[in-house]
Structure 1
């Protein structure tokens, strides 16, 4: 007889042993215990933020065999898979959309496993557990964002609705050097990128890659100024607290690549990346001086340099940005799962998502036609 599975919710990641949690994951930096704990310990999520931790675990014979980062949400900010229109429609129909459950990594539009378990049956139990927790807690539904394609298929079998959006990723096709990548581009695009890099690197200073013990508190002081400027312009207020950066310096500096532009030995711009087993994830950028093309250099070209040098399969440079296309980043599908308890709204949502998936497939195909790579035949 198969042993029964027991579901438990946790109001803090600290309730779960780091080795237990990380032993279920795949090394993605954003679903590690240390990253999720940094968000909570720094006050970036938790009371007053609209992100209330409610992490889910599955036990068998007293041992945790599955887990999922889960949050009760009172808004739809910081998710990057947009459902604001759904919330408005739900409330116009007389329903209460918030709270909802979000299986996600806060403020992080990077794909990866959200159902941390080796066995499909355990991943199914996590999905079923989300719907149960939503129903018991009076949430309108449960959403799993930036999940893997395999999880999307499993979720559809479990009654969740699959959604497809898109991002731009750079894919490493075995390049030994940046020039090998450029050789795959059309002549015009190759010349444009070389000219752009020369212009950016001529800003009057130097560019440094900092990782591990090369990172110092003064570098985080500088980056905090960059982050506040960018966050204030994009979101009205930054999502992350200053304490978050101190936390990741303590626990994650080997997982971080900070690319800084310095002039007269003073940081004037920077791009923060996280390093995964097979990918580099660009997360935040900011500056205190404007220089032509420096944003593209630090965020995109330097990321490609690092990925090639370290044999990483891809660079994920964050949400949105068709300007990435001209720099060799390609359109790729992004998967998420959605379930609401109201059956009528669920049917309407299914019709909408069917149409959206078809339109998104056409958009990805159209964007792929405009990549800068040399056309074959």
Structure 2
């Protein structure tokens, strides 16, 4: 296939791309009637949902349903500083590749921090914004970024998309392109197209074919095992009950309560939460089987909750909030319930979101994340390249030390 046969276009709304075309690139191995959510399949055979996911590398965040909900709800749009510039590759009349891309006027909601780069460049007389951001807005979760249709020439189209991002950077008069939370193979591919490589770390839990939570606890040393048992007991000591809701069990009443939690906690953490109330209703309609809402209830009302999204083999923890604060309730709702659900569903990994070394004591270990950065200005590029070499070494050493400090039993540890 000659790359000259491929045309590229940047579109200003995901609504300009049919869901079937988008999802054929984003989650190409998904069965046709699971595209954009698994609700149709679940209504006929709930057990088939897990089979459908495991047959693919299904990632809910790059689905048309999720990204469309962000735009339609006003969460990710030009007004909020996330102007869609999705790059679309066509071979004749067929869409063969897509990059979810946004023209940004700030660096908020990304979780890979470049404000220091922006400040330094602007102090030197440069203009850092606008920039192009290839990511899922407000979502620090690893997933595909160069989306290619299954039967297309994968390597060639990824190269066309990577070169297209560089060209779009120039046409947009942007300072840079940032591809964040990419899969490692994409990260390596982009390095061959003048993108600088950056690493960071999160904390993920890995399922070693556990049959239940006690199996997981048995792999921990005595001190951590006892601490987790105490935390789980104390979390529900005040008459609190925990409810794991998926699909049609998630009512608008539950969404109302969760949004209150999200706003209360988000306002304290960020000053202005990113997601609108409409966003949650939209995903509840379009992808209910992809959502796990863990809610805590006391004295007849919801008091806390966490939202998770279900992928092919991964449970992605996202937002948490509460209107009452009880010891260890955050750990129970966000971490331990996620482990319970992953074991029950046979999921291999729980990604618990950004940052948080406190997760190590709960069985979540360091995991590299990858981002790639094209910097147009040669001087800024040299400075960032030097910085990233040192940063990658620091991240690798920190991961080694934190893994050593993990809660798992070492060979020769005595059982108590």
Counterpart of 1:19? 20
**May I ask how many residue pairs the two structures share in their alignment?**
377
CA distance in 2, matches of 1:153, 1:376: 35
Shift of 1:227: 0.4
Which residue of 301, 318, 321 corresponds with 1:286?
321
Deviations 1:126-165 (A, max 9, x none): 1111110110110001010000000010011111001000
1:62 counterpart residue number = 93
Partner of 2:34: none
Q: What is the aligned counterpart of 1:106 among 122, 137, 161?
A: 137
Give runs of aligned pairs for residues 116-195 of structure 1, distance below 5 A: 116-117=147-148, 118=150, 119-195=154-230
Any gaps of 5 or more consecutive residues in structure 2?
A: 28-57
- Per-residue deviation, 1:276: 0.7
> How far did residue 61 of structure 1 move?
1.9
Match of 2:368 among 321, 327, 333: 333
- Give secondary structure in 1 for the equivalent of 2:316: strand
TM-score of the two chains, using structure 2 as the length reference: 0.89
Distance in 1 between the 2:268 and 2:377 partners?
A: 37
Root-mean-square deviation (Å): 1.0
Q: Deviations over 1:336-375 (max 9, x none)?
A: 0001111121111111101110111001101111110011
Paired residues for 1:1-377 under 5 Å: 2=2, 4-26=5-27, 27-117=58-148, 118=150, 119-376=154-411
Query: With structure 1 as the length reference, what TM-score do the two structures score?
Result: 0.98
* 2:303 partner SS: strand
Question: For 2:216 and 2:195, how far apart are their aligned partners in 1?
Answer: 39
SS of residue in 1 equivalent to 2:26 = coil
3-state SS, counterpart of residue 24 of structure 1: helix
Asked whether the equivalents of residues 78 and 84 of structure 2 are also in contact (C-alpha less than 8 Å), the reply is no
Q: CA deviation at 1:203?
A: 2.7
Runs (4+) off by over 3 Å: none
Q: Which runs of 5+ in 1 are unaligned?
A: none
SS for the counterpart of 1:180 is: helix
1-side partners of 2:135 and 2:172: how far apart? 18
CA distances 1:24-78 after superposition (whole Å, capped 9, x unpaired): 1232111000000000100011132010000011111221111010000000000
CA distance in 1, matches of 2:323, 2:177: 40
Determine the C-alpha separation between the residues in 2 that align with 1:333 and 1:17. 34
